[in-house]
Amino acid sequence: MRYCPNCSQPLTTKHEGGRERLACPDQGCGFIHFGNFSIGCAGVVLREGKALLVQRGWQPFAGSWQIPGGYVEHDEPILEAVEREVMEEAGVTARARDVIAFRHSIGGSIGGPSTNLYVVFRLDYVEGEPVFDNDEVVGAGFYSLDEMSQMEAVQGLSRWAIEKAMRAERQDGLTMENGAASVPARPGWQLFGLQPSDALLR
């Protein structure tokens, strides 16, 4: 980035938040570039002891198998995003239950130039048999851990997330809060937290 996206002035630098950052020199504009960020999401969908996998048709990693997922749109609730990605990539309807893991990667990786937060959800299977477009996705199906061991190029992060989802209790992950009394709801918020067990509340 060399020019201000607001007023087109050539960017200079400004000390902000403890470091030098690209900034617009026009005081009336005030633009400061805090970096490029993206949010990804993926879903572990389990059915009868098997997990949903899709086979990538596009680079990077074309031909590899992974849990379905993709980017969250800037104006899209993340729960809707992960359910949408599962439907788009595999034709399966599933409902997000909880967050089982997240990965934070700093820019410059193979996946792209931006820093990325990748949230992995566990979803409850609702209906549908795996289908794929034979373009972005060239294969899809439900597979057991034993079957995955015989498959080539199952991505390590996906296999790790599937094992976590299979071993965790039903409500071990972070679930969306429905109106926490101590945290007032705000438009556009989705708040996730650990749910205490009944035993701890007694």
pLDDT at 67: 98
Q: pLDDT digits over 79-118, tens only?
A: 999 999 999 999 999 999 999 999 999 875 555 557 899 9
Q: Check: CB of residue 118 under 8 Å from CB of residue 105.
A: yes
Q: Rounded CA gap, 107 and 115, in Å?
A: 4
Q: Are residues 152 and 95 in the same domain?
A: yes
Is 196 domain-assigned?
no
Segment 42-46 shows an average pLDDT of: 98
Beta pairing, strands 115-127 & 37-47:
parallel
Domain that holds residue 27: 1-35
Using the predicted structure, report yes or no on whether residue 181 has a pLDDT greater than 80: no
Q: pLDDT digits over 132-180, tens only?
A: 999 999 999 999 999 999 999 999 999 999 999 999 877 678 888 765 5
Is 186 domain-assigned?
no
Is 200 domain-assigned?
no
Computed over every residue of the chain, the mean pLDDT equals 89
Is 120 domain-assigned?
yes
Is 192 domain-assigned?
no
Is 183 domain-assigned?
no
pLDDT at 108: 58
Is 174 domain-assigned?
no
CATH number at residue 141: 3.90.79.10
Is 102 domain-assigned?
yes
Q: Are residues 152 and 124 in the same domain?
A: yes
pLDDT at 107: 73
Q: Are residues 70 and 157 in the same domain?
A: yes
pLDDT at 201: 47
Highest mean pLDDT among 73-77, 101-105, 120-124, 189-193: 120-124
**pLDDT-wise least confident of 26-40, 92-106, 120-134, 170-184:** 170-184
Q: Which residues, including other chains, have CB under 8 Å from residue 63's CB and lie 6 or more apart?
A: 55, 56, 138, 152, 153
